[in-house]
């Protein structure tokens, strides 16, 4: 029970990796706050966590709004008395070159992928200081640290998350707060599959083709990313701070 009685905030908790995180942390004794814009998905995730024996609450809303980001932390502190672990897992993937990227695509990427991470960290860190430490795991992307083609808004926002992680990792380490990030490649989630559908592709066949491009044999399943996030949040990673960890199955970014 690596997270027994730890208070854990999970954004994007109704999505693919988010659901895996909820299950994992519930099984390992955490007290959970789930955040997602999908209210019914939050409710379903919370019910599953309760069946696994966890104390859990949720707050649905839009991470593009600063007030909602701050409300998630306020609600967590009111319900559980503090915050120990923050998992900034939520994200969006706008696709397109700069000429294909609208203002809305650009601002959505920045507001969800970057600004929300900033607002949540800023709200949570004072409470972690009061508890003598904590852990934050952000979700960047290997496409942020090594940008791929035709995803200008996504790559820029995720690259900024990597930079933010390095900065916070340095600034917060003396406070006993470890800040790290995972940098995945493709993950077999509904977000990925819906992107294939929008392009008129069969998701199963598209994933099968992607699997062939990974030296380890397949793109990541949500549980495989959740396991790495949990490791970075745990005391097993107690000497890791300010790191951005590639989780790619050895697949490079290609153009």
| Burial per residue of 149-162, b for 16 or more beta-carbon CB atoms within 10 angstroms, e otherwise | eebbbbbbbbbbbb
**Neighbouring C-beta atoms of residue 48, cutoff 10 Å:** 15
The answer to whether 244 touches 162, Cβ cutoff 8 Å, is yes
Active site residues: 154
According to DSSP, residue 184 is labeled E
Instruction: Give the separation between CA 221 and CA 17, rounded to whole angstroms.
Output: 8
Q: Choose among 4, 45, 19, 2: nearest CA to 225.
A: 19
Residue appearing with tokens 């380890």: 216
DSSP code of residue 252:
P
Give one DSSP letter per residue of 41-86, joined into a string: HHHHHHHHHHHTT--EEEEE--TT-HHHHHHHHHHHHHHHSS-SEE
CB 21 within 8 A of CB 93: no
Residue 239 tokens, joined: 């000497």
171 Cβ contact list (under 8 Å, min separation 6): none
């Amino acid at each position: 029970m690596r997270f027994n009685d730890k208070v854990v905030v999970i954004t994007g908790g109704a999505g693919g990796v988010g659901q895996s995180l909820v299950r994992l942390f519930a099984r390992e004794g955490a007290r959970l706050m789930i955040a997602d814009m999908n209210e019914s998905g939050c409710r379903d995730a919370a019910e599953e966590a309760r069946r696994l024996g966890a104390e859990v609450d949720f707050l649905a809303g839009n991470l593009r709004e600063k007030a909602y980001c701050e409300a998630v932390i306020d609600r967590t502190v009111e319900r559980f008395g503090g915050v120990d672990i923050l998992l900034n897992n939520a994200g969006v993937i706008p696709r397109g070159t700069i000429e294909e990227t609208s203002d809305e695509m650009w601002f959505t990427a920045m507001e969800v992928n970057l600004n929300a991470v900033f607002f949540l960290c800023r709200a949570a860190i004072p409470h972690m200081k009061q508890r003598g430490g904590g852990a934050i795991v952000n979700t960047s992307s290997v496409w942020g640290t090594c940008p791929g083609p035709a995803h200008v808004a996504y790559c820029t926002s995720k690259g900024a998350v990597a930079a933010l992680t390095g900065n916070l990792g340095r600034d917060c380490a003396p406070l006993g707060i470890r800040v790290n990030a995972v940098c995945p490649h493709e993950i077999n989630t509904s977000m990925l599959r819906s992107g294939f559908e929008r392009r008129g592709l069969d998701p199963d066949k598209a994933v099968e083709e992607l699997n062939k491009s990974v030296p380890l044999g397949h793109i990541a399943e949500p549980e495989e990313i959740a396991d790495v996030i949990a490791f970075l949040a745990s005391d097993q990673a107690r000497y890791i701070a300010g790191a951005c960890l590639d989780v790619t199955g050895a697949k490079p970014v290609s153009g």
